[in-house]
Structure 1
């Protein structure tokens, strides 16, 4: 029995990254699509802050629902386990600079933080 490599999926690859930003773009988080607009702006924001490559690279992903539908837009920074609410364009600038570049969560926007031992 011979193996036919054409039937096996290609193994994906992902470049190294320091943090992964998950953005809820579901309809219950923001009724007017604000979350999608914020997500769409991240590429340029990451590039301007030097987060698009190198040791501080941040990966971004849209998610359909976090089941935390109040106070949106909502985003989560992993592996830090920091959850943000009320992520307006201005607040996103603060999160990018203070948390993603400087490594310090923006405490007044945090509504949950993973417990670490």
Structure 2
């Protein structure tokens, strides 16, 4: 099989390549029913458009893309948010804590350590 510059084919039909606008970080919000049964995760996701716009993160070099995820399989302490490509996982992301994450991590570049429960590339510490 040879590598070609043409688009992949499916049953003889050319498949169009998707396009996504440029972004600096990708914010993933678990909105699964076990993460927060009271709908807090979905409400958090719904509020992000206005919060990111207010922080100037809806366009330009620091633009944040946001997506809902149906389950992270980390079903305690929600709402849970993951910042990529940083690999920083946050728990207990209340609206006030989201404001802290936006200000300190997404704008300032420094994770909010008390809210981090996992950091990609680091071994678990065994405590909270």
Q: TM-score, normalised by structure 2?
A: 0.83
SS, match of residue 95 in structure 1: helix
Q: Report the structure, 1 or 2, having the larger helix content.
A: 1
- Compute the RMSD of aligned alpha carbons: 1.6
Does residue 21 of structure 2 align to residue 15 of structure 1? yes
Match for residue 88 of structure 2 among 47, 72, 82? 82
Q: TM-score, normalised by structure 1?
A: 0.91
Q: Which residue of 1 aligns with 2:60?
A: 54
For the pair shown, the structure with the greater C-alpha radius of gyration is 2
Aligned length: 112
Q: Which residue of 1 aligns with 2:8?
A: none
Gaps of 5+ in 2: 1-12, 123-128
Q: CA deviation at 1:12?
A: 1.4
Q: Which residue of 2 aligns with 1:4?
A: none
Q: Which residue of 2 aligns with 1:107?
A: 113
Higher relative contact order (CA 8 A, sep 6+): 1
Deviations 1:50-97 (A, max 9, x none): 100111000000000000000000010000000000000100000011
Q: CA deviation at 1:10?
A: 2.8
Gaps of 5+ in 1: 1-6
